[in-house]
Amino acid sequence: MNQPYNVVSVIKIILKWKWLIIGATILSVAVAAIVSVFFMDEYFKSRAIINPINQGMTDRSALFSEKGESQVEYYGTKNDVNRILEIANSSSITDFLINYYHLADHYKLNSSSKYWRTKVKKRFLKNYSVIKTEHEAVEISIMDTDPQLASDMVNMVVEKIDEKNKEPVIRNKQRIVARFQEDVKAKKVELDTLTAAMNIIGKAYNIQVKSDEKGNESVIGPTAEGVELYKVAQQRQHSVLEEYNKLSVLKDQFEISAKENVPSVNIIEQAWPAEKREKPERSLICVTTGLITFFLSIIAALLIEQVKLIRLELKNDAQ
Domain ranges of the chain: 6-28+280-295, 41-279
> Cis omega before residue 280 (within 30°)?
yes
Specify the pairing of strand 217-220 against strand 265-269: unpaired
Which of 70-74, 273-277, 280-284 has the highest mean predicted lDDT (pLDDT)? Answer: 273-277
Which pLDDT score is estimated for 1? 45
pLDDT average, residue stretch 269-274: 94
Q: What confidence score (pLDDT) does residue 181 get?
A: 93
Task: State the burial class of residue 220 (Cβ atoms within 10 Å of its Cβ: 0-12, 13-18, 19+).
Answer: exposed
Closest alpha carbon to 125 in 151, 98, 106: 98
| Residue 257 CB partners (closer than 8 Å, separation 6+) | 58, 59, 60, 63, 173
Q: Which residues contact 120 (CB under 8 A, 6 or more apart)?
A: 98, 103, 104, 107, 109
Alpha helix segments (H runs only) across 205-281: 224-257
Q: What is the pLDDT of residue 69?
A: 52
The predicted pLDDT at position 74 comes to: 73
pLDDT of residue 144: 95
pLDDT at residue number 98: 94
Q: According to the model, what pLDDT value does residue 146 have?
A: 95
Per the prediction, the chain carries an average pLDDT of 87
- Please work out, in degrees rounded to the nearest 5, the angle formed at the alpha carbon of residue 71 by the alpha carbons of 69 and 74: 160
pLDDT tens, position by position, 200-214? 998 998 888 888 777
For the ranges 34-48, 86-100, 173-187, 236-250, the lowest mean pLDDT is seen at 34-48
Q: CATH number for the 41-279 domain, one of 3.30.930.10, 3.30.1890.10, 3.40.50.1820, 1.10.3720.10?
A: 3.30.1890.10
Q: What is the pLDDT of residue 70?
A: 57
Mean pLDDT of 258-263: 78
Mean pLDDT of 16-31: 91
Beta strands in 27-144 (DSSP E): 44-52, 128-132, 138-144
